[in-house]
Structures are given as structure tokens and as C-alpha cells.
Amino acid sequence: MSDLATRVAVARAGALRRAAPALLGYAAVRALGLIVLALWSAERGKSAYTLLTARWDSLWYAGVAGLGYGYEVRLPNGDVHSNLAFFPLLPWLERLLAAVSPLSYADAGFTVSLLASLAAAWGIFAVADHVYGRQAGIAAVLLWAVLPVGIVQSMAYSESLFTALAAWALYAVLTGRWVTAGTLALLAGLTRPVGLAVVAAVWATALASFVGDRSTTAADGARDAHRAPAVTGHATARRLLGMALAPLGAAGYVLWVGHRTGKGPFGYLQVQAGWRNGFDGGYAFARFVADKFTSFPSALAGAGLILGVAGVVWLYVTGVRQRQPLALLVYSGVVTALALCASSYFGSKPRLLLPAFPLLLPLAIALARPRVARSALVVGAVAVASAAVYGAFWLNGSGPP
């Protein structure tokens, strides 16, 4: 093994040891959620594994893996549900894993999600640790694990895979690894439509750094006309290459869908319209909340929704006040805007917010300050509530998460 390979291996081992408490805590929380789900489902005569791997979106991803694109369902009201709405990276990985193992496509999707959720947890730790320190990194991972919608991290959905790619792309941006950031953004863009958020984070930070480089170079030149520029040509080229790579995944798939449907660049939007999905600035969601106040019992749900949205906005504003890095603010801002302003199935909005982990950083900072025992008590209580209320009760309901 070369000296470089040895140094890389040692560095990775050190990084894994540093992240170990966060990863072990994450695994414990997810194991608790799965155990509670299994017990609850068994009591109701249902299969927990079927809920995780063969219902709702999981079926569509497995269908793409097995049959490819082109399948659609026409509903009595005229809506057309096409599998072109589902981005291809997860089905590709399901097909690859099924081809080299005895796993079915559903089994492969579950396996990918489990592994990706651990990669996502490590990426979240890496980002939070880099910005705020190790204790905040551990707290951020545990908070992400105990989210009420956290059971989705263990489902054959694309949220865990996307969050893993997004988190490590953001870490690459924060550490100046522009080609890596662009490549991961490309892959994130092949995973979910919200890959746009990762692209925006890469581009915004790169453009801001170019502006900063010019200011620094001008100031250096004013002080010393013979001084070498702060940024080399190689560094600039890597940054530009990262920017060029970042949008290729999302743009490539959207353009391919437009070509396949014969609808041009806006073909994917028409596919989404068949699912009653779109971006209306939050009008449909606002009407949905307002309708809750037509009767007393549902008014409580409406008030809860308003408080939830207010909490999300407060977390974002707090992140701005705490001067989170630009990449994190842009990323979480775009994810939040797309989730809250989409005219999609409203019960899925908590799931759509799942990748917006930078919103948790203000809470992670606060949780990292008290004594370990007190923080563990808070996280443990929330983990139990999350596992029972959402992971077991809601997942055993009729609607998709």
C-alpha cells in the first residue's frame, strides 16, 4: 500500500471512530422504531416488512427496477399516474443489487435504504461536526433519527439515499472538494426532484467564493503588486468543473422524460400534473389548512399544522441568525420551499422535509449544551414517542407517509 493510500485509510478510520457514537445512537433509535413497528403490525395482523418494502412508492420504485419506464395507471377521474414521475437512481441500484444477489427488487430497495440511512447519518454528523463540533454532530444525527417521520429512513423509499448524497455533497462544499460536490449533486439530481436544492447549494457557494476570491486578490494586489494570486488555476478549474457536473443528473432525466413523452422540456411537469403534483407557491396547502377550521375537532389539526409550519420557519430563521454556512442555508431553504409550496398530497409534507437536516442544527446546538444524561433522556423520550405515534400507528393506517 502506498503512503498516500495509507494516509487516506488512517484518516477514514479516524473519521469513523469520531462518528461512531452518532452512528451507534442512530442505529439504536432506528432499531427501536423497527421493533415497535413489528410488534404493532403483528398485533393488527399486518406484516411490518410489507409496509416497509411493498406499499405506496416502494411498489413504484420496484416496478421501475423490474419493468423499466413506461408503466402508467389511468384513474376514473382522468388522472394518469406514470412511473416517469420517479427518478431512476434508486431503481437502478435495486436492479443492480438484485442482479448480483438473491434479493428481490423490494428486498434490494430495503437494503439500499438501510445502508443509505447510515451513510446519511454519517454525512449529517460530518457536516454538523465541521461547523459546530462533535457534540452538536452527535445531537444532529440523533435528532434526525427521532423525527416523527423517521421510519421512512428505513423504508424502500428514496429519502435516505437522497439525504446521504446531499449531506456528503454539502460536506464536500464546506471542505472545498468541488468535483466531489458536483458529482454527488449529479447523483442527488438522479434521485429526487428536490436534487435542485443540492445544485443550488453548490452553485451559490461557488459563485460566492468567486466573488470572495476577487475581493481578496484585489486587496492583496493593492498591498503587494508582486504577490501571487490566492487561488490557483487548478482550484478555479475544479470549482468550475464541480459547477458543471452538479445539474447534469436532474437536467438529464427531466430532458429525457420530455423527449420520451414528446412534451419537450416541460414534459416532466406534465407527468407530475397527472399525480396532482405541482408548485403553486403554497396556495393549495394554505387552503387545506384553512379548511380545517370549518369544525372544532379538525380545527385542532389546523392549529397544529400552523404551529408546525411556524416551527420550521423559526428554525430556518434561527439558522440564519446563527450564521450557518451559505450552502446549508440555500439547501435547506430550497428543500423547505419545495415541500411547503407544492400542491401534492399534504400528508407527505413531513416526509418531504426529511432531507432538510440543517433545520435541526439550532436544536442540535442547544441539545449539545446540557449534561449528557439530560440530553439522552430527552432524545430517548422523543424516540419512543416517534416510534409509537408515527412509525407504528400512522404507518399501519390507510394512507402513504
Q: To the nearest whole percent, how much of the chain has pLDDT over 90? A: 64
pLDDT of residue 118: 97
Q: Which of 50-59, 71-80, 226-235, 260-269 has the least mean pLDDT? A: 226-235
Burial of 293 (0-12, 13-18, 19+ CB in 10 A): middle
pLDDT at 296 > cutoff 50 = yes
Whole-number average pLDDT of the chain: 88
Domain layout of the chain by residue ranges: 20-217+233-394
The better pLDDT of the pair 48, 8 is held by 48
Total-model pTM:
0.93
Q: What is the pLDDT of residue 225?
A: 42
CA 107 to mean position of chain CA atoms: 21
Pairwise CA distance, residues 137 & 171, whole Å: 13
* Residue 205 scores a pLDDT above 60: yes
pLDDT score of 376: 65
Which residues does residue 81 pair with via DSSP β-bridges, in sequence order?
73
- What type of residue sits at position 134? R
Nearest to 154 by CA among 87, 88, 40, 58: 58
Cα gap 390→384, rounded to integer Å: 10
Task: Write out the E strands in 35-181.
Answer: 72-74, 80-82
Task: Tell me what pLDDT residue 232 has.
Answer: 65
Query: What confidence tier does 295 reach under pLDDT thresholds 50, 70, 90?
Result: confident
Q: What is the pLDDT of residues 147-161, one digit of tens each?
A: 988 999 999 999 999
